[in-house]
Amino acid sequence: MNGVDDDASGEDDEKRDGVILLTTTLKITLTTRANLLLKNVILLMEMTVWMVLMMMRVAKTTKSVM
């Protein structure tokens, strides 16, 4: 461009490195959030199963008492 080599100053390299760093950070953040969401969903499912099992146990013991 107009006989000037922009790459000589290293500005293009710095911009490219900045973009790579930003996209990598976003990917890590999104992956971390997705993992946390998945862990929360699994935990919720485990708690639901536990509650159902406890209610079944309570129902069974109350039937035997009556």
The whole domain housing 20 covers 9-65
Span 15-39, mean pLDDT? 82
Question: What would the pLDDT profile of 16-25 be if each residue is shown by its tens digit?
Answer: 888 888 777 7
In a domain, 1, yes or no: no
In a domain, 59, yes or no: yes
Q: What percent of the chain is modeled with pLDDT above 70?
A: 80
Say how many domains are in the chain: 1
d(Cα 50, Cα 2) in Å, to the nearest integer? 71
Q: How many C-beta atoms lie closer than 10 Å to residue 22's C-beta? A: 10
In a domain, 2, yes or no: no
The yes-or-no verdict on residue 3 having pLDDT over 80 is no
In a domain, 22, yes or no: yes
Q: What is the CA radius of gyration of the chain?
A: 28
The overall average pLDDT reported for the chain is 79
Confidence at residue 1, expressed as pLDDT on a 0 to 100 scale: 45
